[in-house]
Amino acid sequence: MKAVIMAGGKGTRLLGLTEDKVPKPMALVAGKPILKWQVECLRRNGITDICIIIGHLGEVIRDYFGNGGKFGVSISYFIEDIPMGTAGALPHILEFLSEPYFLLLNGDTIFDIDIKRMERFHKEKHAYATLFVHPNSHPHDSDLVMMNSDGHITGFDSKSNTRAYWYDNIVNAGIYILSREVCALIPLEGKTDLDKEVVFANLEEYCIYGYFSPEYVKDVGTIERIRQAEIDISSGVVATKNLSYKQRCIFLDRDGTINVYKGLICEADDFVLESSAAEAIRLINRSSYLAAVASNQPVVARGLCEIEDVEEIHRKMKTLLGKEGAYLDWVEYCPHHPDKGYPEENPKYKIACECRKPETGMFLKAAAAMNIDLSQSWMIGDSTRDIQAASNAGMRSILVKTGQGGGDLSYAAKPDFVCDNILEAVKRVING
């Protein structure tokens, strides 16, 4: 697979660093230009044929990289004499785009991802276009992507819109695998916005998918974000989040751990975050651990609400966390309950399943999706059911005193630690 990097932007938000002497993609992050971080990641993934779209101060990029030989790659260039937007240059490099699909990158992101894993997803879905999507710490001012459980993208919500609803934290990261035929949708003249005029304008006609991943991708278009990326690089977070490596995860129970315990919650209005939950999950986000939810939700089986109601509650959870700079890498829940006899029960979900804790199905599903080593992972919850589930999955566990506080005596498993709340528990894990 070949790669195209869009590196023609002026980067007015970085003038304090670049002083308009170097283009935005050449701004230094931890001592290296953004573009060098990108080229090195591409090379590690076996992608060595690269075309860089240059414009403002593009000669600085050419002088630094040349033909790419000293970096172990081959680099060609397309010069935008007049800005052509985020897609306008693509029809002009068709000779370079000789393969069925190619990787397209924005030149102002720091990332370390398993590109081959994304490519496999693209091929399995027979996608026309695949967008790398992920949760981030500021979804309220990010463009959001809506997609179904299969990953098929169904909609888009611009960051400029007013959002009077609860939303999923699924953000377009600026990394794409595009079919060569996409270029036929782009006019040869003028500026074209890839997202609005090409991708999201053609959702109904073409198979366009979102590849959801917790790997590190950060838009470093501001000085503040560059500084955070430097912290993440020095702490090892950037490299260790690459899914080619085994991941460590902190699994969290929902009711009584993340949110205030109110028994069975059936409506979003009843969901209230525990006071320290957002801070705790922010700490996980800044560590080398993933943050995942594994929650029993028998409200569906009991007929108290529908699947959509549970997912609306989870959208509220993600929205509230996002407003406080925190996000979840994965949310899994079990809607089943084995005991029959409730008057409103839904027989479809009245089954003995493999996902309801203390069974391990939710952990195994997350582990397969994100390459998690369960033996190096933790479960934090408020019930002995959570502790038994962790033991069954080969994980360590912490019981918190919020919620049920271990008051249920259904299971005999003992936690590794007992903590007052989720924040104390997360600190215990992260601080070793």
**How confident is the model over 362-371, as pLDDT tens digits?**
999 999 999 9
Do the beta carbons of residue 330 and residue 369 sit within 8 Å? yes
184 and 56 together in one domain: yes
Q: What is the pLDDT of residues 310-337, one digit of tens each?
A: 999 999 999 999 999 999 999 999 999 9
Is residue 239 domain-resident? no
Residue type at 335? P
39 and 94 together in one domain: yes
> Strand 378-381's sheet: what is its strand order?
330-334, 289-296, 248-252, 378-381, 396-400, 417-419
202 and 314 together in one domain: no
Is residue 236 domain-resident? no
Residue type at 228? Q
207 and 294 together in one domain: no
The CA distances from residue 87 to 157, 185, 230, 364, in Å, are 20, 10, 29, 40
- The torsion region of residue 270 among left (phi > 0), alpha (psi -120 to 50) and beta comes to alpha
Q: Which two tokens stand for residue 40?
A: 């090195």
What pLDDT sits at residue 223? 87
Q: Which residues contact 334 (CB under 8 A, 6 or more apart)?
A: 295, 296, 297, 298, 353, 355, 356, 357, 361, 362
What pLDDT sits at residue 20? 66
Is residue 190 domain-resident? yes
Is residue 241 domain-resident? no
Q: Which domain holds residue 36?
A: 2-231
Do the beta carbons of residue 234 and residue 30 sit within 8 Å? yes
Which of 197, 231, 265 is the last residue in one of the domains? Answer: 231
Is residue 88 domain-resident? yes
264 and 363 together in one domain: yes
CATH code of the domain containing 299: 3.40.50.1000
6 and 87 together in one domain: yes
223 and 267 together in one domain: no
- Of 255, 329, 382, 386, which residue is the catalytic one? 255
Do the beta carbons of residue 295 and residue 253 sit within 8 Å? yes
Q: Strands 378-381 and 248-252, how do they pair? A: parallel
What pLDDT sits at residue 371? 98
- Residue 114 CB neighbour total at 10 angstroms: 18
> In the chain, how many domains are there?
2
Is residue 240 domain-resident? no
Q: What crossing angle do the helices spanning 277-285 and 422-430 adopt, rounded to 10°?
A: 20
Half-sphere exposure (Cβ direction) of 173: Cα atoms closer than 13 Å: 28
CATH code of the domain containing 11: 3.90.550.10
73 and 201 together in one domain: yes
337 and 388 together in one domain: yes
Residue 91 phi, psi (nearest 5): -65, -15
Residue 49 is a catalytic residue: no
Residue 157 is a catalytic residue: no
What pLDDT sits at residue 344? 87
What pLDDT sits at residue 121? 98
The share of the chain scoring above pLDDT 90, in percent, equals 90
273 and 210 together in one domain: no
Q: What is the mean pLDDT of each run of 10 residues along the chain (432 residues)?
A: 90 55 92 97 98 95 97 97 94 97 96 98 97 95 93 94 95 97 95 95 95 96 91 94 98 98 96 98 96 98 96 98 97 95 89 97 98 98 97 98 90 95 98 88
- The torsion region of residue 174 among left (phi > 0), alpha (psi -120 to 50) and beta comes to left
- Of 112, 195, 253, 329, which residue is the catalytic one? 253
